Amino acid sequence: MHTSTLSTLFLASMDLGLGIALICICLVAGLVVGGVVGLFFYKKSTDKKLGTVEERTKHMVDEAEAKSKALKKEAILEAKEQETKLRAEFEKESREKRNELNKFEQRLQSREDNLDKREDSIMKKNDELEKQKKDLQNKEQEIKRTQEKINHQHDLMVQELEKVAQLTKDEAKHLLTEEILEETRHDVAIQVRNIEQQAKDEATTEAKKIISLAIQRCASDHASEITVSVVPLPSDDMKARIIGREGRNIRALENATGIELIVDDTPEVVIVSGFDPVRREVARLTLERLITDGRIHPARIEETVEKVRKELDQEIKAAGESAMFEVGIFGLHPELIKLIGRLKYRTSYGQNVYKHSIEVAQLAGLMASELGLDVNLAKRAGLLHDIGKAVDHEQEGTHVQLGADLAKKYKENANVVNAIAAHHGDCEPKTVEAVLVAAADAISGARPGARRETGTNYVKRLEKLESIASSFNGVDKSYAIQAGREVRVIVKPEQIDDAQAMFLAKDIAKKIEAELEYPGQIKVNVIRESRAVEYAK
């Protein structure tokens, strides 16, 4: 039963599969037939369309050919018109160029004609020049022959003159040259003397006016000191206390101050001696305080010296500031201010350098004001011109050199440094203010009563002054007068004439400046006189 059912089912499934297969085959066959029929109709429609396209294409080709023929005809016509136009323009330009060429040829032809004419004229001139050259050569030869004759005659004349004068040609030239030079030198000396005298008169008048105004407007006190200080004592018994047991007090004081104390037979005084003015002032003040206090022993001496030294440092600084304010300058380096204050205890030929520096600054400033120069520069250089004297007892070198070095060290103006270096003529002044500082220094030092010197030095300076003046040839006698402010030189009139006297005065003045140290200035007065003496009998 079961097997028959299966068989039935199997047969049924087989019939179904065949049916489906037949259906598929029918569908495929239908599709193939449909495709063939569709292809046939598509081919037929395509052939029809192709025929239409060919006809259109042919029609378009025909139209394009017709248009191209029309365009070609138009292009040919335009080209012919353009050609005609260009040909006309070319012919016109050709005619113009031809005309220009003709004109240019005509100008060239005229130039060639002119050049030919010039060439002919040049040839003629060359011929004339050749003739003139030959004439000149002939004349030159004649001149040479004439010159030879003249030279020969000149030699004969020179020989005759040498025989007559008994001098050779060179000797005669030498004599004539010397005579001419002597006459020229004499004339020049007279002219120079007249010019210098006129300039000196004018300059002296103006300088005296400026200096007198400056001196009148500057009223400074004179302060003269020496290198020793005298300390008064209440009684001679105080000397023993100052000396102390076995001299311990005086040794302690000298060691602490570096200054020598002189205790001699002079009643009721002790002399403090030393070249360092600040140390001498410290010793003097210390001794005065010890005498006032009455307690004199080594420990007290050292304590008092230290206290006085500090107080004096403050006074020195205050003195420097006071000088700066009095003169009216600002901006100085603090160390320079202290050095200016130290000058209060420094003297030069008995003149207080502190007061002298202030006076020089004021004089230089006043003269600079009168001349319309830099007043501040003149005052600054005048106040600092002797700054080297504050340290010249401690360092080697002149106070001029030391002062210039200090100014450089503390960044002072180059013109101030030059004024310091040039105020004694050690170098050339670069500014007028430097000259004014030197003049103010001379005025302050040469003022009556400002300085003093010992009798020995005074006599030596006068003797040296007279010996310098007498050392020149032609000097008969020389005299130093007016306390060495003037030297009168009497010359021999047969050896020195008026013109040479002027040069002699200059030479003597230069030698005095080089060999002699002196305050202010010295006038050199050369005197030449001739005397005719006869006796009536």
Helix (H) or strand (E) holding 61: helix 2-165
372: left (phi over 0), alpha (psi -120 to 50) or beta: left
User: Higher-confidence residue: 30 or 375?
Assistant: 375
Average pLDDT over residues 104-120: 87
pLDDT tens by residue, 182-206: 777 667 767 777 777 776 666 666 6
348: pLDDT strictly greater than 60: yes
pLDDT at 223: 43
pLDDT at 239: 79
CATH code, 228-446: 1.10.3210
Mean pLDDT lowest among 40-54, 234-248, 471-485: 40-54
pLDDT at 418: 92
Count the residues in the chain.
Answer: 537
- State the architecture of 455-527 in CATH terms: 2-Layer Sandwich (3.30)
Share of the chain above pLDDT 70, in %: 81
Output the CA angle 388-392-397, nearest 5 degrees: 90
Residues 274, 258 contacting (CB under 8 angstroms): yes
User: Higher-confidence residue: 267 or 387?
Assistant: 387
Rounded to the nearest 10 degrees, the angle between the axes of helix 353-371 and helix 432-446 is 130
446: pLDDT strictly greater than 70: no
Three-state helix/strand/coil letters over 2-17? HHHHHHHHHHHHHHHH
pLDDT at 17: 62
Q: Where are the domains of the chain?
A: 40-156, 167-210, 228-446, 455-527
The count of other CB atoms within 10 Å of the CB of residue 465 is 23
What is d(CA 320, CA 410) in angstroms, rounded to the nearest whole number? 16
pLDDT at 1: 47
At 450, the pLDDT band (50, 70, 90 cuts) reads: low
The count of other CB atoms within 10 Å of the CB of residue 225 is 15
What pairs with residue 481 in β-bridges? 486
pLDDT at 520: 63
At 129, the pLDDT band (50, 70, 90 cuts) reads: confident
pLDDT at 313: 86
What is d(CA 295, CA 209) in angstroms, rounded to the nearest whole number? 59
300: pLDDT strictly greater than 80: yes
Mean pLDDT lowest among 20-29, 58-67, 472-481: 20-29
The count of other CB atoms within 10 Å of the CB of residue 284 is 21
Average pLDDT over residues 413-437: 88
405: pLDDT strictly greater than 60: yes
At 455, the pLDDT band (50, 70, 90 cuts) reads: low
User: Higher-confidence residue: 416 or 221?
Assistant: 416
Mean pLDDT lowest among 44-53, 126-135, 301-310: 44-53
* Among the listed residues 353, 387, 375, the one whose alpha carbon sits nearest the alpha carbon of residue 431: 375
pLDDT tens by residue, 33-66: 777 777 767 666 666 665 676 777 888 888 888 8
**Residue 194, CB half-sphere, CA atoms under 13 Å: how many?**
5
At 417, the pLDDT band (50, 70, 90 cuts) reads: very high
pLDDT tens by residue, 491-520: 988 888 887 888 888 889 889 888 887 766
pLDDT at 153: 82
Average pLDDT over residues 349-375: 86
At 260, the pLDDT band (50, 70, 90 cuts) reads: confident
At 371, the pLDDT band (50, 70, 90 cuts) reads: confident
Using alpha carbons, list the distances in angstroms from residue 386 to 21, 107, 132, 421, 512. 146, 92, 83, 10, 23
- Mean pLDDT, the chain, rounded, equals 80
